[in-house]
């Protein structure tokens, strides 16, 4: 107290620099009151956030439990095209596709009356999900769910990672990215490691980074083996490499995993999508079963044509190491569901004989003999 006074005591208790200075000038100074208020309200806000996130989870679960859940991708595509047609923006090809979709759904849902009813129900459900998602985003932006200390530290880390990512740029050479990852580990540069981790996902090389390492302990099931490119492998990689080897805090590492998953979903690597959950403002890793359910739910929001055209092999499965350094592709339940639920629509796409919907890398992995 004698050396640092009240400010020294506050800082010693873990408050942020800004908060310490504000309180040192007087507890009732404007900034001091504001930061103290944010600090004491954070737990309450996290609880409220958790309630909102649970409501969103319930909406998604309800949608996925419907008897027509396997047709959601097709129904959503139909709704999207019907909106374009209603607005007068549908092409002749899209109008033809509307007819094909209706024929397919008519036979599966038991008549056009049911198709119309269910289409409206799905549209309403999707609107509710979108509304709740926006509500959560707005709540996070406008409500303090972290203390000023953790917020300041988090912003500092993210700035460093953004700067490192900007230096990496659009380098899509997987060997370069792996070399950068290993360098970051060697010098224990957490921000650079996180930047490479995220940049690899952005450039379609998420699997290369995961498979650049071998498991360390028996706890996660990969000791001495290259990590699988699925939820189990990703969870083990984050726990053993980001937290264990690089010394990241758990929430920090899970935050990077969440960003990694979002990027992977955008590039079609669904085996890594939706890998982290949030409750009361705290992040946690999902189990493989939870991740598969959520990833499949997200995949159902993409129309069949786009999924067939854009998704590569990691939209259908994952790779494992055979122990001899060779990668072996395996169909996942996400991929199996994507094919079986959309078989008739995929057949229509293939029937168009449009070369742009094919990916040689994907087809070789999905259909060659093993």
Q: What is the mean pLDDT of the chain?
A: 78
Verify that 166 and 256 share a domain, yes or no. Answer: yes
CA angle 134, 135, 136 (to 5 degrees): 90
Asked whether residue 232 is domain-assigned, the answer is yes
**Residues 299 and 207 placed together within one structural domain of the fold:** yes
Q: Is residue 55 part of a domain?
A: no
Buried (b) or exposed (e) across 79-118, using 16+ Cβ within 10 A? Answer: bebbeeeeeeebeeeeeebbeebbebbeeebeeeeebeeb
Do 79 and 202 reside in the same domain of the chain?
no
Distance of CA 367 to the CA centre of its chain: 27
pLDDT at position 117 is 94
> Does one domain contain both 119 and 166?
no
Question: Does 329 lie in the same domain as 230?
Answer: yes
Q: Say if CB 233 and CB 242 are below 8 A apart.
A: no
Considering the domain architecture, whether residues 215 and 305 belong to the same structural domain is answered as yes
Work out the percent of the chain whose per-residue pLDDT is above 70.
Answer: 73
- Does residue 60 lie within any of the structural domains? no
Closest CA to 341 of 105, 76, 122, 70: 70
Among the listed residues 337, 232, 332, the one whose alpha carbon sits nearest the alpha carbon of residue 287:
232
- The answer to whether residues 81 and 183 belong to one domain is no
Amino acid 352: pLDDT: 56
Q: Give a yes or no: residue 44 inside a domain.
A: yes
Whether 122 and 193 share a structural domain: no
Last residue of some domain: 109, 142, 175?
A: 142
Asked if residue 283 and residue 160 are part of one domain, the reply reads yes
pLDDT for the residue 28: 44
pLDDT given at position 14: 41
Q: In whole angstroms, how far apart are CA 109 and each of 59, 63, 124, 300, 322? A: 22, 16, 18, 17, 43
Query: Quick check: is 349 in a domain?
Result: yes
Domain residues for the domain of 117 are: 66-142
User: How many CB atoms neighbour CB 157 within 10 A?
Assistant: 18
**Do 212 and 103 share a domain, yes or no?**
no
What pLDDT is attached to residue 5? 44
Q: Do residues 103 and 183 both lie within one domain?
A: no
Last residue of a domain, one of 111, 142, 173: 142
Q: What is the pTM of this model?
A: 0.60
Report the number of distinct structural domains present in the chain: 3
Residues of the chain with pLDDT below 70 are: 1-42, 143-157, 281, 303-305, 308-311, 344-370
d(CA 21, CA 183): 38
Domain shared by 87 and 194, yes or no: no
Domain-embedded: residue 57: no
């Amino acid at each position: 107290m004698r050396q640092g006074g009240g400010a020294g005591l506050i800082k010693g208790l873990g408050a942020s620099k800004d908060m310490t200075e504000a309180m040192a000038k007087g507890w009732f100074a404007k900034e001091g009151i504001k930061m103290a208020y944010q600090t004491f309200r954070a737990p309450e806000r996290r609880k409220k956030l958790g309630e909102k996130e649970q409501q969103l989870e319930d909406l998604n679960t309800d949608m996925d439990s419907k008897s027509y859940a396997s047709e959601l991708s097709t129904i959503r595509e139909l709704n999207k095209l019907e909106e374009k047609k209603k607005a007068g923006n549908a092409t002749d090809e899209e109008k033809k596709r509307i007819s094909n979709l209706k024929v397919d759904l008519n036979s599966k849902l038991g008549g056009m009356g049911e198709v119309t009813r269910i289409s409206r129900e799905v549209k309403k459900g999707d609107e509710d999900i979108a509304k709740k998602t926006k509500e959560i985003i707005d709540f996070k932006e406008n409500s303090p769910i972290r203390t000023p200390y953790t917020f300041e530290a988090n912003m500092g880390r993210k700035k460093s990672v953004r700067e490192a990512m900007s230096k990496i740029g659009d380098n899509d050479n997987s060997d370069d990215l792996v070399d950068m990852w290993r360098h970051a580990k060697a010098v224990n540069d957490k921000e650079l490691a996180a930047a490479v981790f995220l940049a690899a996902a952005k450039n379609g090389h998420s699997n290369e980074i995961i498979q650049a390492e071998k498991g360390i302990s028996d706890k996660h099931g990969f000791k001495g083996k290259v990590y699988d490119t699925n939820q189990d492998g990703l969870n083990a990689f984050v726990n053993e490499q980001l937290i264990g080897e690089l010394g990241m805090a758990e929430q920090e590492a899970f935050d990077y995993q969440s960003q990694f998953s979002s990027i992977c979903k955008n590039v079609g690597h669904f085996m890594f999508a939706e890998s982290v959950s949030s409750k009361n403002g705290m992040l946690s890793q999902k189990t493989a079963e939870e991740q598969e359910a959520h990833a499949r739910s997200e995949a159902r929001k993409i129309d069949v044509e786009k999924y067939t055209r854009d998704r590569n092999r990691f939209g259908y499965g994952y790779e494992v190491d055979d122990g001899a350094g060779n990668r072996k592709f395996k169909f996942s339940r996400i991929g199996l569901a994507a094919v079986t639920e959309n078989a008739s629509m995929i057949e229509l796409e293939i029937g168009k004989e449009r070369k742009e919907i094919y990916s040689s890398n994907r087809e070789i992995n999905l259909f060659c003999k093993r």
